[in-house]
Amino acid sequence: MLLTTILGYGMTAAGLLLILFLVLLQNLLGNQRLFDPLIKLICRVLPLGFGCRVRVTGREHIDPDKPYIFMSNHVNIFDPVIIYGHIPNFLRAVELEDHFAWPVWGTIIRRLGNIPISHKHVARALDSLQKAAELVRRGTSIAILPEGHRTRDGHLSAFMRGPFRLALNVEADIVPLAMKGGFERKSVHSPLVHPGRMELAIGRPISFESFATQTERELRDTVRAAIEKLLE
């Protein structure tokens, strides 16, 4: 396990540097979608370096040409890579603003056009949600992890309100996602990665028409129930 973990981190570092090069190159060429399929492929390969295989179920539920808001539980550091690699839609994410200061990863997500969000400053958070809404209206799907941080015990934590304000504002369908088996592979408590299987379960879209009259709290409960059902 220690050896596969070391090899996996080495492979991940090389993969992220390659992604960084592709992201910078497509920015230089003025086409954000140019290398997107190749970047997704690299993201799908990275967990294999740790001996982790990802099974995807429910992909038939989504239209790859339609913008959605994808909402998932947050299990470990693999989540953004797995979601980006296995969701066929053109996708950007809302991420905690602290991540944008990380070496390599911060540059990648900034150049990709991911949106930083603050947990401390309400005004900045609302501005970030507005930027995310504009992306969806222009045809880009958004991924967001409503727990805001990785689970500490393998179970769903409380959901923040912002993602559901975004969904009600932009009038887009929500696709619930569930990361299964990831906590057993890599938890927040240890740098070690245990080889094995993980699953990304894609639920049926929750149409805007079905939740248009709900409050943020009611929509939060609706999405949480959908994710819990996928986790069963």
DSSP code for 189: T
Left (φ > 0), alpha (ψ -120 to 50) or beta: where does 79 sit? alpha
* Structural domains for the chain: 52-231 (3.40.1130.10)
Q: pLDDT confidence of 123, banded at 50, 70, 90?
A: confident
CA–CA dist 210, 173 (Å, integer): 9
Nearest to 84 by CA among 144, 168, 130, 147: 144
pLDDT of the residue at 125: 84
pLDDT digits (tens, 9 = 90+) for 91-105: 999 999 999 999 999
Provide the residue type at 114 as one letter: N
Q: Count CB atoms within 10 A of the CB of residue 96.
A: 13
Cα 112 → chain centroid? 13
pLDDT digits (tens, 9 = 90+) for 27-57: 999 999 999 999 999 999 999 999 999 999 9
State mean pLDDT over 147-172. 91
pTM, entire model: 0.94
Q: pLDDT confidence of 1, banded at 50, 70, 90?
A: confident
- Give yes or no for residue 82 having a pLDDT over 90: yes
- Give yes or no for residue 122 having a pLDDT over 80: no
pLDDT of the residue at 119: 78
